[in-house]
Amino acid sequence: MHVNAVRAIGLFAGVSALVIVAGWLCGAQKGAQLSIALVLCAGILVYLFGESLALRAMRARPVSEIERPELYRIVRELATAARQPMPKLYLAPVRSPNAFATGGSPRRAALCCTTGLLRTLEERELRGVIAHELAHIRAHDTLISSVAATLTALITALTAVTFLLPLGESEETDMPDLLGGLLLALLAPLAAAVVYFGVGRAREFRADEKAAELTGDPLGLASALRRMESGNRAYPLPRERVLLASAHLMTTNPFPGTLGRLFAAHPPVSERIRRLQELHREWDLG
């Protein structure tokens, strides 16, 4: 079993236990039952639809080679060079320039680009972004990312349900709902921690480096990141919960501002660009 599969199982089990305890504190047996139901639903979602949750959130659709021959050519060339299967390609009708990969394994992977990305980037920049996402697929980062996205959605859903549906004071514990509500309020930072520790900023740096190795052009990816950050500021995604839960999948953080940084697993773009420029100097390119 791949190391990221083990991490995904551990992440799901650990956070699920915390969610069940939080539910019990909010409403004893009734709260625990609700939490268990949500955890089971989350497990089913991860198993059946984990690969497509982000695609659905972005309203992405499969794109054919006839529609986007240049995109297919670039992805095929890079996948062949990386010796990994060609992922399924999707297109999201979004002006914000971004891309993401999802799927439990390289053979089940999907790669999605936004229309804004294809309009914004030149070919050398697009190659860098595609190579970055292929690196995530090859490292099985997409599996643990899918689990992290589902768990984040689970935590935010439990928080919302608890405040909308009063569970009543527990007869068994005499613990008021207020304490449980405050506990659940603390789960929002936990959701961010799930993304941060489950996905990790180190993975982004590693994917950048692997992308630079694959394309031989670290400055191409650096230029793409700069353009994408500017585009994300001009055309931010709507702050929907399901999109917030999937933000860490994107090549760059799609939500500028404090809330976006809370749910982001991305290092600052400036730091990523600096490292790519250093890599360029080390290779003495150009």
Query: Catalytic residue at 133?
Result: yes
User: Does 266 count as an annotated binding residue?
Assistant: no
Which of 57, 241, 238, 245 minimizes the C-alpha distance to 146? 245
Let me know the angle formed at the C-alpha of 35 by 30 and 41, rounded to the nearest 5 degrees: 130
User: Does 123 count as an annotated binding residue?
Assistant: no
Please pick, among 51, 133, 169, 278, the residue that the annotation labels catalytic.
Answer: 133
**CA-atom Rg of the chain in angstroms:** 20
| Helices 201-215 and 123-138: angle between axes, nearest 10 degrees | 120
Torsion of CA 50, 51, 57, 62, to 10 degrees: -160
| Helices 141-164 and 3-49: angle between axes, nearest 10 degrees | 50
235-243, Cβ contacts within 8 angstroms, sequence gap of 24 or more? 235/94, 235/95, 235/96, 235/97, 235/116, 236/96, 236/260, 237/94, 237/96, 240/57, 241/153, 241/156, 241/157, 242/53, 242/57, 242/153, 243/57, 243/58
Judged by DSSP in three states, 79 sits in helix
User: Does 271 count as an annotated binding residue?
Assistant: no
H-assigned helices in the chain = 3-49, 53-57, 69-82, 115-120, 123-138, 141-164, 177-185, 187-199, 201-215, 218-234, 241-245, 258-262, 269-283
> What residues act catalytically?
133
Name the binding residues.
132, 136, 204
Name the binding residues for Zn(2+).
132, 136, 204
